[in-house]
Amino acid sequence: MKGIPQALFGQAVPAKEVASMRLGEVVRSYLQFYAEGRSHTARAKQLDADRFLAFLADFRGDGEVDALLVRHWDQSCTQRFVDECLRIGEAPATVSRRLATLKHMGRVLAEKMPGFVNPAREVKPPRSQATRPKSLQRGELNEVRDRARRMRTDKGSFPRIRNEAILNLLLDTGLRADEVRSLKMSQLDDKLEQIERVRTKGRRFRTIYITSAMRPSLKEYLEHRSTELKRFFPSLSPAIDGKLPLFISAYRAKASDPASFEMSPKSIWRAIRACSVETRLHPHLLRHTFATELLDSSRDIRLVAQALGHSDVRVTMRYTERSDEEIAEALERVRSEVQSSRPATPPRPKR
């Protein structure tokens, strides 16, 4: 954590010294380590932290973020921050995410800074009715794939061929957009059966299986990728190729800088958005679609959790939620089946 005195990593620092540190500097150090880059998750953490610091500065009355000290962050102001976010009309899900950022930041600082107690630990997130994440229905999903195929056929440029492969891979694996964007060619095995050492947003690594249905599309893309790279590398060695992204962008790319071939986060979003039919697409909607399909097919919530890379199966449980209409239909179906299975009551004999 850059910016925090190295003494904090050695012997215990008195709580009084920790309390006198500037909160803004501590938060920036946290963000440098846990929210670096331009990913959706990183930007969300940055926004949450900035929003809280601005609130805390106003709450204290001086409005100066640079004047905030670590001791100014306590449980009371954290709770008031949650209440204020709800008061101004922020969605419970957004407020819960902001609080989750504070909880994680507090937990990390408590581990790194002796004498610091997590001020957000006991604050409860707002309660709201759980809903299943939105996903694409089978009919629209087929239309999305058809649209991507037509776009590639109408103008067979490399970017459109690449974008179709990205769309199919997201639907086939449930990967996050930033996970796909950061994939290197060296992570793909020779048989195109799996992607190794995929780094999750929780800083863990896992192996992703590629289905047999996806392999032809991926193989076709790799052939076009090889042709595209010949513009920059007349003779491309496996060692250099392994350092290049799996999904490359030639925009401002330089042969001397493998990282310059990486797609930007916005490019991934635009590629998926362009395939929209009725629903406005985004990469995480495809992840939800993957999870919903897998759960409906396998009926195994633990399997879905592992496929998504969730460390806590409780996060995956939201895919088991059902709407009021689905509950009503299920109840009607059960009652109908019970009624039809009951034996007819024989008429009572007359006396």
Taking only the tens place, the pLDDT of each residue in 2-59 is 445 444 433 444 456 777 888 998 898 888 888 777 677 888 999 999 999 999 999 9
Instruction: Provide mean pLDDT across the span 314-339.
Output: 84
Residue 337 or 148, more confident: 148
**Which of 22-31, 210-219, 255-264, 272-281 is least confident?**
22-31
Q: Which residues contact 347 (CB under 8 A, 6 or more apart)?
A: none
Instruction: Provide mean pLDDT across the span 267-276.
Output: 94
**Under CATH, which architecture does the 138-320 domain have?**
Orthogonal Bundle (1.10)
Instruction: Provide mean pLDDT across the span 142-165.
Output: 92
Mean pLDDT of the chain: 88
Query: How far apart are alpha carbons 141 and 54 in whole angstroms?
Result: 42
3-state DSSP assignment of residue 310: coil
pLDDT score at 345:
64
**Which of 102-111, 170-179, 217-226 is least confident?**
102-111
Q: What torsion do the CA atoms of 237, 242, 248, 251 make, to the nearest 10 degrees? A: -60
Statement: residue 224 has pLDDT above 70: yes
pLDDT score at 43:
87
Domain with CATH 1.10.443.10 in the chain: 138-320
Domain with CATH 1.10.150 in the chain: 6-112
pLDDT score at 351:
61
**Under CATH, which architecture does the 6-112 domain have?**
Orthogonal Bundle (1.10)
Residue 350 or 70, more confident: 70
Instruction: Provide mean pLDDT across the span 127-150.
Output: 89
pLDDT score at 282:
94
Of the candidates 47, 42, 48, 52, the one whose C-alpha atom is nearest the C-alpha of residue 72 is: 52
pLDDT band, residue 324 (cuts 50/70/90)? confident
pLDDT band, residue 315 (cuts 50/70/90)? confident
pLDDT score at 349:
67
pLDDT score at 1:
44
Question: What are the phi and psi torsion angles at 89 (to 5°)?
Answer: 100, 15
Residue 245: DSSP 8-state: B
Please name every residue paired with 22 in a beta bridge, in sequence order, or none if there are none: 69
Please name every residue paired with 199 in a beta bridge, in sequence order, or none if there are none: 205
Statement: residue 115 has pLDDT above 80: no
